[in-house]
Structure 1
């Protein structure tokens, strides 16, 4: 049974048709990442060790033997780098096998709605990154998520079109790894910004330009953006973009099953045109539409003044209709209380709760575990074993309709999530929300 209040199209709450689409997606992903079925499955009657495996649309997804599976076992690690020679050899294999596969090479589409050029980014990712690099990027992106939950975000965003979902996901992985380096932003965090005198980044945290606090009636974490505190030119575009990614990734740490979306409130009280800056708005829209699909639960525009009407006429033209449908204008605390319980409304939102945002500076020694490379490597090795178990269980589930195969994957997925709790301090610098215990991964995995 799905958890209480579990939305449709989520792990454990899929229709047979949706589960078939998820299996098809995983099959294509396994080929993209160069992950082969376990020898036990190849030797069973489920599939032939020498026969091509077909996806649901009939295209060839993989053709491998148990022997080739043994030869192609690869090491998994977030921080490991392959030497140049081995990378070139793997790219040669990619050119001769993976890219020639019609199920992957033909995944690009002529989608009229490809406004962010993701088909082009997909081709670039396949050309520039080896299958193992793509695999590492994916598992780094999973973090504390259920792997199915992450895939289902892309499937829902692309209306269950598997090829379009693959294009979107791989282009996002390329964006995270090669364009903005999400991992580095979260690894360095507030402590490194303080040590490196990164004032553009820190200023936004200290003033509380945006902050996370409380949850709405659906249990979604709330992110408030106070537009009146923004002044164009106060910080570089790079600092703004890094800060935006930092807030979104931090909010991901605050999700607790079965909730998988967040609420964003744009507080426009005391807003003036001097606070308007279109570049960061465009970047934020791109993040939600292209790289963090199905992450926004609702967006509330609070106390918009009349001068915002002209601004809104411009912004709404940039929005995907699905995202636009989640935006609601609210004028006062009474209208806010339709989304947030009254006892959780604080002063900035017209409520009576005296809570106010206060930034707590980094604490000396809180990020020491980030420098413990030896322990991190050991933990990553252990995680690699669980990842491989999940991949093997996924192969079995793809070719099985049994409840046992389905449950086996869920059991391993739970172990992955619990495992990340111990790994997290070695990968992610502490934030103000760790200091005030708003982030509690142990609680979220309970």
Structure 2
């Protein structure tokens, strides 16, 4: 799905637009009431901090509309799920995980190649490959695998290009046996996508499903929302993948021409960069303050819009506020995220890491000279 599809940010009818406005008002009132703070204080609260970090590079309306569509435009249900998501992100330590990145994962599990992103499908969606036979139940602590899953979903968000809002998952069942069947983990991922990352899955293709898997599917499908079930397709032959994904974006192990996945560990520069940004308390304070200022301005403008001001001047101001929010978040990123395998292989392009690092090094060199 894209920003231009019906019910998405650039294609809303009057009723949907009014529902979006009501959703913003209701969300901010809920946070204000539950935290016993004014709306002006929301950005500096723990929930406000989690909210705007979770928005990230996105247009905030895109995030809000995900929950509205997932909850069939029921404002109270959408707001409740969004509040639950903010609480989950805080309790689960999602932002702490993003700050540590791959250093927080078990390297043996990352190197196993059982799950990774590679290229895009013909609709422009990033593709996540999961080779089920490489997951052995209880080989690694389930908490570690859950962290890998959460970080993968967050990484996938950075792989979305332009107006694309969803990703594709390829489940390779070749060699599947019951020692690979992990119902607890399956439930976790279903809940992850349905409750905390709604409207993120565009397509799921299951290839090589052996007969034994269908008895597992008979159990699993009852846990899956019908909307998501309709996005799942079973393919008998690898060649059928070519209908959805160009061979150049398919790994060789699935008869494509793209080199198979091989994890690229952090470089010395990556480690030095990470240490420098974490040590730069003053720099972090400055970019965080700028991001919070942009968030406050965005909320103020959004509330005016939500309460009925649709003048061209305000609409343009809100558009610029959205851009400013994104720009200040980008400056914040090196202090709260890390570079990953996908940065090192060139699939994710975030030049802010290099730009900010050069500025930081120059600033530190100037301090030495002045000393």
Alignment TM-score, normalising by the size of structure 1: 0.73
Q: Which residue of 2 aligns with 1:367?
A: 274
CA–CA distance in structure 2, aligned partners of residues 394 and 314 of structure 1: 44
User: Which of 400, 405, 409 is the matching residue for 2:309?
Assistant: 400
CA separation of 1:366 and 1:227: change in aligned 2, threshold 3 A: farther
* Displacement after TM superposition at 1:133 (Å): 2.5
1:344 to 2:228 alignment: no
Aligned ranges 1:43-442 → 2 under 5 Å: 73-74=40-41, 76=43, 132-178=45-91, 180-191=92-103, 193=104, 201-351=106-256, 353-364=257-268, 365-368=272-275, 369-398=277-306, 399-441=308-350
SS where residue 337 of structure 1 aligns?
A: helix
Aligned 8 A contact 1:220 1:259 in 2: yes
User: Which of 9, 27, 30 is the matching residue for 1:29?
Assistant: 27
Q: Structure 2: which 5+ residue stretches go unaligned?
A: 353-371
Aligned 8 A contact 2:2 2:8 in 1: no
Q: What's the C-alpha RMSD, in Å, of the aligned pairs?
A: 2.1
SS where residue 367 of structure 1 aligns?
A: helix
Deviations 1:328-356 (Å, cap 9, x if unpaired)? 111223321222124433312222x0411
CA–CA distance in structure 2, aligned partners of residues 324 and 403 of structure 1: 42
Moved segments of 4+, more than 6 Å: none
Structure possessing the higher radius of gyration over alpha carbons: 1
Aligned 8 A contact 1:6 1:259 in 2: no
Aligned 8 A contact 1:263 1:298 in 2: yes
- Greater shift, 368-377 or 215-224, is seen at 368-377
SS where residue 297 of structure 1 aligns?
A: strand
* Displacement after TM superposition at 1:424 (Å): 0.9
* Displacement after TM superposition at 1:222 (Å): 0.4
Q: Structure 1: which 5+ residue stretches go unaligned?
A: 36-67, 78-131
CA–CA distance in structure 2, aligned partners of residues 206 and 136 of structure 1: 33
* Displacement after TM superposition at 1:383 (Å): 0.9
CA–CA distance in structure 2, aligned partners of residues 133 and 5 of structure 1: 29
CA–CA distance in structure 2, aligned partners of residues 403 and 260 of structure 1: 27
CA–CA distance in structure 2, aligned partners of residues 25 and 434 of structure 1: 35
SS where residue 307 of structure 1 aligns?
A: helix
User: Which of 10, 13, 16 is the matching residue for 2:8?
Assistant: 10
* Displacement after TM superposition at 1:18 (Å): 0.8
CA–CA distance in structure 1, aligned partners of residues 22 and 3 of structure 2: 27
Aligned 8 A contact 2:208 2:235 in 1: yes
CA–CA distance in structure 1, aligned partners of residues 115 and 64 of structure 2: 28
Larger helix share, 1 or 2:
2
CA separation of 1:164 and 1:222: change in aligned 2, threshold 3 A: same
